Structure formats: structure tokens, C-alpha cells
Structure 1
Amino acid sequence: MRNIVLIGFMGTGKSTVGKRLAQALAWDFVDTDCEIGEVTNLTVTEIFRRHGEKRFRSEESIVVARLSQLEHIVIATGGGTVLNPLNWEALANNGTVIGLHASLEAILRRIGHKNDRPLLKGPKEEIEKLWSERQRCYAQANFMVDTSEKNIDEVVNEILDRLGRSVNNEFRGVAQD
């Protein structure tokens, strides 16, 4: 295992879980949306507003291609990252892809209709449609973890257990395939 890639809809906990998982493994953590912001000097919202989703997805693919060449990192992707087959292939070729799932109700409870999420600005019916359409893609992950009713530690422990690792082991950044 070279990397761990967290995929899933917005609000499933990818960034929060990813940071904690990276700490447990003594690996680096990268959030693709934050990385895009570093590269472009724009927030995701600004890119969407100024240049549109197509430009954002282009920047995202560049970041994914670079990150997929690294090793021993936990990558939290944006909700739409793996909808692009080239992004999926790059990430899956060099990592274990873990899908984080949460019910739409849990997601809306966590993030509501925040204005900083461009694709969550519409009515609930549109958000539900987007959530539903993406589930099939996320289900292609190596395995799924439902985060709806779990705290961060429960999710991280489940991931570690499913990866075949004991939470009590020391991780020194060396992959144990």
C-alpha cells in the first residue's frame, strides 16, 4: 500500500478523518481542495465563481496527477474528484481507495447549506440528486465505511482494522503490504 485515498460526498468526513488517519500512520496528509487553493491562490468557491467548474476540474486533475506519484500519504479528495476516470485511475494505481459514506440527512446536519460549497447551494432536491448520482462511483472503492453515526475515532479505527492493522501498533511511515 503506497497511499490511502479517501473519497465520498461532501460532508462525509474525508478531511477530518484523513488528518487523524495520517497521524495514526505517521504519514503526510493532503486535501486536494486545499492543494488546489495553494496552487491557484484561489479558494474552491472563487475558482467556481470566476472560472467555472470546468476550470476547477482541470486544476484538480493536475493536482491529482502529482499527488498520485507520491507515497505514504493520506489523500482526502473533493466530492467530485473520482468522477473523472483519469483521476480515479491515477489514485487507485498508487493507493487503497476508501469510500466514506453518510446519509444525506447526516451530511445536511453536518454542513447544511453552507455558502462555501458551490455544489450545495441549490434546493435539497438537487443536492439529493447529486448525492444519489455519485453513490455508484464511490461504491467502486476498495471498501466503504459509513460515517453517518460514528465519531472520528470510530471511523479511523474501522479503517485501520479493515486495512489489517492494529490500532495499538506503532506506525513509523513504513508501508506494511
Structure 2
Amino acid sequence: MTTRHILLIGFMGTGKSTVGEQLARNLNYAFVDLDAEIVKQVGRTIPDIFAQDGEVFFREQESRILARLLRDRTRLLVIATGGGVVLDEANRKLMREHGAVIQLTAAEETIVQRVSQDRNRPLLQGDAASRVRKLMLERQGLYDFAHLIVPTDHLTVEQINERIEAHLVNEKAY
């Protein structure tokens, strides 16, 4: 089993938080939802942060908090990242160096179905389907540094975690 942090990356709506909570319980790791940690430390909701300070400020906080979490050697963490954490090359490098990186994927239609009613997603204001499509195109290839890719469309949380845990048991390349 890994002795490193586990990072769940992927586009919004792929199940990172849901999978991460259960994975952390299974492995007896601490769970951190990066977006929730940003809200806690900044003291405002993500829509408020975007509205008042903009996406650049949000991404700066995201990078700062991610770096702090990855350098934590007092506990093992499962970290569910936000979908845009991969926009910063330094974040991608840091995650790859300090953890086992697992990408969760889903088809565009699945993502639209999962996130279209979520009002806490400032990047989806307006037509959610067209925004998802545009963002997926913009982020194409940015998740490719993951050690493992798990499609989540037709799997239960338990099945996803079984795949991740099997990979971690067999990992030799980290």
C-alpha cells in the first residue's frame, strides 16, 4: 500500500469528493476536499470568492493550500482536488511528486447530468452543457499526468475504490 498522499483529480462532477471520502475511510487516511478547505481558510463560499476576487485569486489560494497539504508529513491524506487545479503546471508537478495521482473521468453527458443543478459552480453559470463542453476542451490533456485513470460513469463508489486500492497495492513506480 502507498505511504504517500493520494490525490483525486478530474473534471468537475466525476465523483472526486464522494469517492475520496469513502477511500479515506477504507485506507484509514484523513480526507481533505480542497475546495472545502479553501472555503474554510478564506472564510467565503466559492461563488463569493469568484464574485468578489475573481478566478485568479481563487487559483492562487488553491495552489497555496494544495502545496501546504502535500508537504504535510504528520498524516496521510486523500485529497479531492477541484477540477481546475490542473490549470497550473506547478500544481501538476507538485501532485505527481508528492502523491499517487488518480484521475476520475466521466462522459460529457454524465457530467452535465451530475452538475447542471449545482449553483455552487461559478464556472457553469448560464448554459451548463455548453460550459462543460467548452471547459472540457480547454482542459483536454491537462489530467494526463495521473498514475491511474478510472472512468466513473457506470461504476459504484465501491467499485471505483476497489480499482484504486488494487492499483495502490500493486504500485511499484512511485
TM-score by length of 2: 0.90
**Displacement of 1:88:** 1.3
Cα distance in 1 for partners of 2:102, 2:140 equals 13
Conservation of the 8 A alpha-carbon contact between 1:113 and 1:120: no
Residue number among 83, 90, 96 corresponding to 1:86 in the alignment: 90
Deviations 1:26-47 (A, max 9, x none): 0000011011011110111110
* 1:169 paired residue number: none
Gaps of 5+ in 1: 166-176
Cα distance in 2 for partners of 1:84, 1:98 equals 17
Counterpart of 1:62, as a letter, is R
Conservation of the 8 A alpha-carbon contact between 2:105 and 2:151: yes
Conservation of the 8 A alpha-carbon contact between 2:112 and 2:132: no
**Displacement of 1:132:** 2.5
| Aligned partner of residue 32 in structure 2, secondary structure | strand
**Displacement of 1:164:** 2.4
* 2:21 paired residue number: 19
Counterpart of 1:159, as a letter, is I
Cα distance in 2 for partners of 1:156, 1:36 equals 25
Deviations 1:120-140 (A, max 9, x none): 113222320211322311122
* 1:131 paired residue number: 136
Conservation of the 8 A alpha-carbon contact between 2:11 and 2:136: yes
Counterpart of 1:118, as a letter, is P
Residue number among 33, 37, 40 corresponding to 2:39 in the alignment: 37
Counterpart of 2:140, as a letter, is Q
TM-score by length of 1: 0.88
**Displacement of 1:113:** 4.1
Identity level (%): 42
Deviations 1:153-176 (A, max 9, x none): 1111111112226xxxxxxxxxxx
| Aligned partner of residue 79 in structure 1, secondary structure | coil
Cα distance in 2 for partners of 1:102, 1:133 equals 16
Conservation of the 8 A alpha-carbon contact between 1:102 and 1:146: yes
**Displacement of 1:116:** 1.2
**Displacement of 1:21:** 0.4
* 1:52 paired residue number: 54
**Does residue 144 of structure 1 match 2:149?**
yes
The aligned runs of 1:109-124 (5 Å cut-off) are: 109-123=113-127, 124=129
| Aligned partner of residue 90 in structure 2, secondary structure | helix
- Name the Cα RMSD after superposition: 1.4
